[in-house]
A = this chain, B = another copy of it.
Amino acid sequence: MNRFVPNCRTLRDRMLTEIGVKRVEDLFTPVPEKVRMRGLLNLPPAMSEMELVREYARLAKSNTSHELVCFRGAGSYDHFIPAAVDSILTRSEFFTAYTPYQAEVSQGTLQAIFEYQTMIARLCGTEAANAGMYDGASATAEAALMAMRVTGVNRVLVAGSLNPSYREVIETYLVPGGFQINEIPFGPDGLLDPGAVRTLIQGGAAAMVVQSPNYFGLVENIALASETARANNALLVVVADPISLGVIQAPGALGADIVVGDGQPLGIPMGFGGPYAGFLATSTAHLRKMPGRIIGRTEDRAGNTGYVMTLQTREQHIRREKATSNICTNQALMALANAVYLSLTGEAGFREIARQCHHKAHYLEAGLVKAGARRIFSAPFVREFALRLPGDAFEFEDRLLSAGFLPGLPVPGLGNDAMLFAVTEKRTREEMDAFIGAFSKACGEVR
C-alpha cells in the first residue's frame, strides 16, 4: 500500500478470498517460475513527495537554457503563452480523460477538437483538418505517405530547404516502404529552384514537400509550386509555421493540397521538444486517405448536436494492416492547447502577434547586419532568417551564450559561418538591442 495503491492488507485478504486464492503470489502462477523475479528490481531508492520536489528543483537548476534570452527557432519558438491556456489544460476533465471512445461522455474533448480542426483548417486555408499528429515532422512524413496513397505514385520530391530533422523523419517513414525520395535544390535566393522542380517532377511524383516559410525563414512561391504540381498530377504538401499564417497567405488558398506543421508556437511550451502536436489540413476529397483521428458533427437520438470520432474505418483498430497509419494515441491535449490559444488570441490578437514577430525579426536582422553580419538570401522572410557571421558560428554561439543569450542556430549546411535566427513577439527592443550589442562585441573578438 502506498499513496497510489489503496487496498490495505485486510481488504486485500477479503478480495483474495472472493477470488478464491490464498496469497497474491497464487495469481502469478501463469508466469513460468523461470522468469518470475525473486528479488526486487534494482532501482534507486523511492523518494517522498518532498524529496522529489527537491530533486526536480536540483535538476531544473542544472539547466540554464531557460534563463537565456532566446533567438533560436528551427521548429520550436519562444512565444508567450496566456495563463488561461494552462488553466484549461489542468482541468481533470481534459487531462485525465482517455481517447473519446464513449462519445456521449466525451463531448468536451470531442467538441474542443472539432473546434481545433476548424481553426486549423481556417488558418491553413483548407476545407478540413484532422485531430492532430505527433509533431510537425511526423505529420509531414505521414502527409507524404498519404499523397502516395492518393496518387498511387511511389516517389516524393522534398525541398532542400526543408528543416533537416523533418527530412530525416520523412526518410525514416518512407524508406521501409521502398518509396523514393528526391531532393529539390534551392537557388541562390534561398527558394526552390523552379527549373529543378520542373525537371525533377518529370519522373512522376506523388507529392512535392515544400516548407514555407522554409527552413531559412523565406516565403516560397506556393502558387507556382502548386501549379507545377497540379500540372504533373502531384500533390503539393506545404509545411507551415502556423504563426506565419497570421501575416502571409494561407497555403490552402494558394493551391496546397495538404498543409502540415507543428502547433508548438500556438500555446505549447518549448519543453525541450515535446509534447507538441502536428497538424494536418487538407481538402474534403482526401479525407478518406488521411491518417489520424477526425471528429465529426452529428446528432443524438433527440436531434441534439453532438460530436463523434468519424471515418474510423481508416484507422488501425478497424482496418489493421490496411490502415492509413498506425497512429493511435495522438497529442490531443496539445491540440486543445492550440485551440485555447487561438480562441484567446482570436482574429485580432493572433494577427497582431504574427505582425509583431515579423516586425521584430526585421528589426533584429537589420541590426545584426549593421553590426557586421551579412545577408545570405534575398527573398522575403517572416520571422526567421539566416545570416553569415564574420567568423565561426559556434564560436559566436559560445560568446553569446556567455552573454546570456541563446543565439541563432549554427547551420553548417550553409557554411561554418551561417546562423539561423528566430524572433517572437516576446522579444523586446531592449533585449534585441542588447543582443546586437553582444554580437557586435563578439565580432571584435572572433576573427
Q: Please tell me if A83 contacts chain B, counting CB pairs below 8 Å.
A: yes
B83 in contact with A49 (CB, 8 Å): yes
Within 8 Å of chain B (Cβ to Cβ): is A90?
A: yes
Against B, the Cβ 8 Å flags (1 = close, 0 = not) of A79-91 are 0101100010011
A122 adjacent to chain B (CB < 8 Å): no
Q: How far is the CB of A78 from chain B (nearest CB, A)?
A: 12
Residues of B within 8 A of A90 (CB): 87, 90
Given contacts A87-B90, A90-B87, A90-B90, contact A426 B50 (CB under 8 A): yes
**Closest beta carbon of chain B to A158's beta carbon, Å:** 37
Determine the interface band of chain A, counting residues with CB < 8 A from chain B: 10 to 19
In the complex, what's the smallest C-beta–C-beta distance from A80 to chain B, in angstroms? Answer: 5
Report the bound CA distance from A83 to B80 in whole Å: 25
CB contacts (< 8 Å) of A87 on chain B: these are 90, 92
Closest chain-B Cβ to A23's Cβ sits at a distance in Å of 25
A50 to B345, CA, bound (A): 13
Give the Cβ gap from A144 to chain B, nearest Cβ, in Å: 37
Task: Convert A411-447 into 0s and 1s, putting 1 for each residue whose CB lies closer than 8 angstroms to a CB of B.
Answer: 0000000000000011000000000000000000000
Across the interface, which residues of B come within 8 angstroms of A80, CB to CB? 49-50, 53
Chain B residues in 8 Å Cβ range of A82: 49
A81 to B92, CA, bound (A): 20
* Least Cβ–Cβ distance between A73 and chain B, in angstroms: 18
For A54, give the chain B residue with the smallest CB separation: B428
Q: Complex: how many Å from CA A87 to CA B50?
A: 17
Binary CB contact string for chain A from 172 to 193 against chain B (1 if under 8 A, 0 otherwise): 0000000000000000000000
Q: Which chain B positions have C-beta within 8 A of A53? A: 80
Q: How far is the CB of A83 from chain B (nearest CB, A)?
A: 7
Q: CA A92 – CA B90 in complex, angstroms? A: 11
In the complex, the chain B residue whose C-beta lies closest to that of A80 is B50
Residues of B within 8 A of A50 (CB): 80, 425-426
Tell me which residues across on chain B come within 8 A of A83, comparing CB atoms: 49
* Chain A interface residues (CB < 8 Å from chain B): 49-50, 53, 80, 82-83, 87, 90-92, 425-426
> Apart from A50-B80, A50-B425, A87-B92, what are 4 other A-B pairs with CB-CB below 8 Å?
A49-B80, A53-B80, A87-B90, A91-B91
The 8 A-B pairs of least Cβ separation, nearest first, read A50-B80, A49-B82, A50-B426, A90-B90, A87-B90, A49-B80, A49-B83, A53-B80
11 residue pairs of the A-B complex, CB under 8 angstroms, read: A49-B80, A49-B82, A49-B83, A50-B80, A50-B425, A50-B426, A53-B80, A87-B90, A87-B92, A90-B90, A91-B91
